[in-house]
């Protein structure tokens, strides 16, 4: 027994000499119990403490070792901050995208501010004068001849003038019937709409002052389409010519030839509205479809603002059933586009041009003159479009 105890003490002494602990037997036992808590013994797992993870990355590596065998501790708190930091870095740009949120608000404000001033300065206008009024350009068009285009152009223009408006008539018909209706010989004019469209002279040089101002035509207009065929922007030649005088008038009335050629295209390109005189006969009404197709082409390619002001029944003989049926067909197919005014047949329409004047001047008290006064009132008050 004594030898065993001595031997055990000698081993304890050796252990104590290595560890520097006391040599007595009573003190050795507690040290042996406390040895597993030393840092060099990896058997017991350290308590999970998230605080040492932030300052020192070494403990984090130590903590990762016990997590490998245990798949359950997935809800450990130290991992989310690492993942969140890793995720926040690539998504830093989206956080910056949230900053331009006030930009749409500023755009809305600037848009409303931009719209407001355009409407506000017009009423006060003592220091800032209002923009000059622009004439309303009306073409009288129908590719069928003999439907009273020239008669309607002149007499409606004179009715506008009698109402106190400044009116310019433009004769684009090579026959020059509108020019002759004001007592001007187309063969004797020095400068005409041919020179305006082909040679680009100012339109004022082709204007004559009669009952209304009229830009005259000549027989040369028959070759205008051929002469203009090589010009760039030839469809807008009349529009450019009228731009110089568009502010000098309230209305510009254009008489077109009985075709849908280049001259008529020029008139429609320069116009705001189109009045379509239609003789109350079946064959005359068939041309409306072609005119509508031409207008659609003009709107798509040249002049999106041009619209039909109205369809005007002319040369109406109310005694015939055919004329009544023709008007009924017009109203059924075109509805409100048909003017309420009716231009009935009258011999005075043929007599007035011989005297070189409008019907309103030739016989102002006639029923025929009242037809165009009623039409003028309808166009001036509300129109049909």
Structural domain boundaries of the chain? 136-381
Q: How far apart are CA 180 and CA 171, in angstroms?
A: 10
CATH superfamily for domain 136-381: P-loop containing nucleotide triphosphate hydrolases (3.40.50.300)
Backbone angles phi, psi at 103, to 5 degrees: -60, -50
Average pLDDT over all residues of the chain: 77
Would you say residue 111 has pLDDT above 90? no
The set of long-range contacts for 287-291, using a CB threshold of 8 Å and a minimum separation of 24, is: 287/142, 287/143, 287/144, 288/334, 290/143, 290/260, 291/141, 291/142, 291/143, 291/260
Q: Tell me the β-bridge partners of 359.
A: none
- Burial letters 63-82, b for 16+ CB under 10 A, else e: beeebeeeeeeeeeebbeee
Mean pLDDT of 167-182: 96
Q: How far apart are CA 215 and CA 203, in angstroms?
A: 7
Q: How far apart are CA 93 and CA 100, in angstroms?
A: 12
Q: Give per-residue pLDDT as tens, 6-63.
A: 444 455 555 444 444 444 444 444 444 444 444 444 555 555 555 555 554 444 444 4
Q: At what angle do helices 25-34 and 2-19 cross, to 10 degrees?
A: 50
Q: Give per-residue pLDDT as tens, 256-300.
A: 999 889 999 999 999 999 999 998 877 777 778 888 888 999 999
DSSP code of residue 37: G
- Burial letters 262-290, b for 16+ CB under 10 A, else e: bbbbbbbbbbbbbbbbbbbbeebbebbee
Would you say residue 137 has pLDDT above 80? yes
pLDDT at 288: 83
Helix or strand or coil: residue 298?
helix
CB 348 within 8 A of CB 319: no
pLDDT at 185: 95
Q: How far apart are CA 16 and CA 19, in angstroms?
A: 5
240 or 41: which carries more pLDDT confidence?
240
Which of 104-108, 225-229, 231-235, 302-306 shows the lowest mean pLDDT across its residues?
104-108
CB 312 within 8 A of CB 343: yes
Q: Tell me the β-bridge partners of 273.
A: 138, 307
pLDDT at 267: 97
């Amino acid at each position: 027994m004594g030898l065993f105890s001595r031997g055990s003490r000698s081993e304890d002494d050796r252990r104590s000499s290595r560890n520097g602990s006391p040599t007595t037997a009573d003190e050795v036992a507690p040290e042996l119990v406390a040895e597993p808590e030393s840092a060099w013994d990896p058997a017991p797992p350290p308590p999970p403490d998230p605080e040492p993870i932030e300052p020192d990355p070494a403990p984090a590596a130590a903590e990762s070792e016990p997590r490998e065998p245990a798949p359950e501790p997935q809800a450990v708190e130290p991992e989310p901050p690492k993942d969140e930091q890793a995720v926040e870095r690539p998504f830093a740009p989206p956080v910056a995208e949230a900053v331009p949120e006030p930009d749409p608000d500023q755009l809305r404000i600037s848009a409303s501010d931009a719209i407001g001033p355009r409407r506000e300065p017009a009423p006060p206008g003592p220091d800032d004068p209002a923009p000059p009024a622009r004439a309303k350009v009306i073409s009288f068009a129908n590719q069928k001849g003999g439907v009273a285009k020239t008669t309607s152009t002149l007499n409606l223009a004179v009715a506008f003038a009698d109402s106190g408006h400044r009116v310019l008539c433009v004769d684009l018909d090579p026959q020059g019937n509108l020019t002759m209706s004001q007592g001007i010989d187309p063969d004797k004019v020095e400068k005409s709409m041919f020179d305006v469209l082909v040679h680009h002279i100012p339109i004022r040089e082709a204007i004559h002052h009669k009952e209304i101002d009229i830009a005259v035509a000549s027989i040369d207009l028959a070759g205008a389409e051929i002469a203009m065929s090589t010009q760039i922007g030839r469809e807008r030649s009349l529009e450019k010519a009228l731009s110089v005088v568009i502010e000098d008038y309230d209305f510009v009335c254009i008489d077109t030839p009985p075709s849908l050629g280049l001259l008529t295209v020029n008139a429609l390109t320069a116009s705001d509205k189109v009045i379509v005189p239609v003789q109350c006969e079946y064959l005359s009404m068939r041309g409306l479809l072609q005119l509508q197709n031409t207008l659609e082409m003009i709107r798509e390619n040249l002049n999106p603002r041009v619209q039909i002001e109205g369809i005007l029944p002319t040369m109406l003989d109310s005694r015939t059933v055919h004329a009544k049926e023709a008007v009924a067909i017009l109203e059924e197919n075109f509805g409100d586009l048909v003017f309420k005014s009716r231009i009935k047949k009258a011999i005075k329409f043929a007599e007035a041009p011989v005297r070189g004047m409008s019907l309103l001047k030739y016989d102002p008290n006639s029923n025929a003159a009242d037809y165009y006064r009623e039409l003028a009132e309808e166009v001036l008050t509300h129109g049909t479009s």
